[in-house]
Structure 1
Amino acid sequence: MSVQSVGGISIAYDEYGSGIPFVLLHGHPFNHTMWQDQREALQAICRVITPDLRGYGETTVVPGKTTMAEFARDLAALLDALAIERIILGGLSMGGQIVFEFYRQFPERVRALLLADTQPQVDTEEVRAARYTTAERILAEGMQDFATELLPRLLARETMASQPKVVERVRQMIVNTPPAGAAAALRGRAERQDYTPVLGEIAVPTLIVVGSEDEFTPVQDAQLMHQGIAGSQLAILEGVGHMPNMERPFEFNAVLRKFLLPIISAN
């Protein structure tokens, strides 16, 4: 991995390929390796950049609370350090919410968007309270038991039964996530703003992808984004949970490549 020191922290990232930069933001509680199948499939057509977010992977852990705005500013600082002006930007789950925040702050830096298994609206009071509770729990207990409980909710039943390597990859990402970093992000997510108004402001090509069995951000959330973002494309992958890029990488990559090629060719 490469490392850039920006804004008082060190951001670790991988990059492959050349051409138009395509930045992919991981979800919680994962790291940049969740995009392994995408970087391998796409590096022939673009410059794929996959950072570890603040508090995750090999990037600096800052205890306390990390807001979506801080994550977005971290990305802007990384792009400045790499002398990159405009990007195609994608994210899954929390990564998708950071995408909304980045577009809100820096719309001129975005060529196109990928929104995978995410949602723009704020949490219910119940979910918000659960984020704070989970933050305290993982600080006290670590990530092992949390991973065991989370996996069946993240991945479709078929994935759990038939793809042990994928299950183990996801497990390893979770258990290797620093608890202080994960807790800080949970607190920040609980206090994020409503990004639903941003939907109508998005004026770049946008691809929305969701697994049909996603428990955390169901198909209804994807349809809400599709209706709110003019000209957006929606792909629903059947029999897939919250992590379609890992559960069905061939299908996910085919949809993504079809979306990207006209944008890359036009630039």
Structure 2
Amino acid sequence: MSKTPLVLLPGLLCDHAVWAPQIEALGERVDAYVVHYGERDSLVAMAQHVLDTAPAPRFALAGHSMGGRVAFEVWRLAPERVTQLALLDTSYHPLAAGEAGENEKLGRYTLLEKAQREGMRAMADEWARGMVHESRIGGPVFEAVLDMFGRSSPAVFAAQIKALLDRPDADPLLPTITCPTLVLCGREDMWSNPARHQHLHARIAGSTLVVVERCGHMSTMEQPEAVTHALRQWLG
């Protein structure tokens, strides 16, 4: 039986490690390709890179966090190439106007300054505490997240921050998504909460919503078996 081409989109500062449990578990049925964005500083440029480097003309597409936003732009550019879509721990809204948007900018650039001053892992030790379920802080998953962020660089961080601050509003795009779609998040995801995923589910006709218990933002690493099960069902 031929394998399904599966393109995997990591989130901010993430790499292959964020998808490693799923690649191993699904290896017999998928041909997995993890995208690396380099220092591209717009979601559209990242999406075009996905389309230029994808290993097949048509593919299943899964995005985690910022990767979900890249997935929206892939769909906007070339919906005919996407056979299935999985959106994990992500969101659709643009940068807020006024004080809320300015606060987001300040928070992101404060972290960038810390990374430039003290190193990526030191920044990650502060930032990642809100990304995982509180029971995992200091444990093996938390350390793996720090290692992953530590492999990146301030230049990549700066580029990806710019991409996120310039993000398009994906909400009008949601009703145009017609392929089989999985929407998944951790119950305790403080970055992209279940209410946002319920909105995605309501706006994407026929989508499936999965909320993973005892899980923060890094669902693929925190609860790999639950995420793999949902992806297996989604792949059909």
User: Which bracket does the TM-score occupy, shorter chain normalised?
Assistant: over 0.9
Matches within 5 A, 1:28-47: 28-47=12-31
TM-score by length of 1: 0.82
TM-score by length of 2: 0.92
Distance (whole Å) between structure 2 residues aligned to residue 188 and residue 224 of structure 1: 23
Partner of 2:227: 252
| Ranges of 4+ aligned residues in structure 1 off by more than 6 Å | none
Partner of 1:160: 137
Matched-pair identity in %: 33
Summarize deviations over 1:88-129 as a string: whole Å, max 9, x none: 001110000000011111111100100000001112212134
Partner of 1:115: 87
Runs (5+) with no aligned partner, structure 2: none
- Contact residue 72 and residue 101 of structure 1 kept, 8 A: yes
Distance 1:70 1:218, change over 3 A: same
Partner of 1:78: 53
Runs (5+) with no aligned partner, structure 1: 1-16, 56-61, 262-267
Distance (whole Å) between structure 1 residues aligned to residue 135 and residue 114 of structure 2: 29
TM-superposed deviation, 1:152 = 1.4
Partner of 1:264: none
Query: Is 1:134 aligned to residue 134 of structure 2?
Result: no
Range with greater deviation from structure 2 (145-154 or 222-231): 145-154
- Length, aligned pairs only: 231
Query: Is 1:145 aligned to residue 122 of structure 2?
Result: yes
Decide which of 204, 216, 220 is 2:179's aligned counterpart. 204
One-letter amino acid of the structure 2 residue matched with residue 218 of structure 1: N
One-letter amino acid of the structure 2 residue matched with residue 217 of structure 1: S
- Contact residue 134 and residue 183 of structure 1 kept, 8 A: no
Distance (whole Å) between structure 1 residues aligned to residue 81 and residue 209 of structure 2: 23
Distance (whole Å) between structure 1 residues aligned to residue 67 and residue 150 of structure 2: 19
Decide which of 91, 95, 102 is 2:67's aligned counterpart. 95
TM-superposed deviation, 1:133 = 4.0
SS in 2 for 1:194: coil
Summarize deviations over 1:162-198 as a string: whole Å, max 9, x none: xx22111111011111110111110111011100111
Distance (whole Å) between structure 1 residues aligned to residue 219 and residue 163 of structure 2: 25
Partner of 2:167: 192
SS in 2 for 1:210: strand
Summarize deviations over 1:31-57 as a string: whole Å, max 9, x none: 1121110001111112111122223xx
TM-superposed deviation, 1:20 = 1.8
Decide which of 185, 188, 205 is 1:213's aligned counterpart. 188
RMSD, aligned α-carbons? 1.6
Distance (whole Å) between structure 2 residues aligned to residue 18 and residue 179 of structure 1: 40
Distance (whole Å) between structure 1 residues aligned to residue 121 and residue 201 of structure 2: 36
Comparing both chains, which one has the higher relative contact order based on Cα–Cα distances under 8 Å and sequence gaps of 6 or more?
Answer: 2
Distance 1:132 1:152, change over 3 A: closer
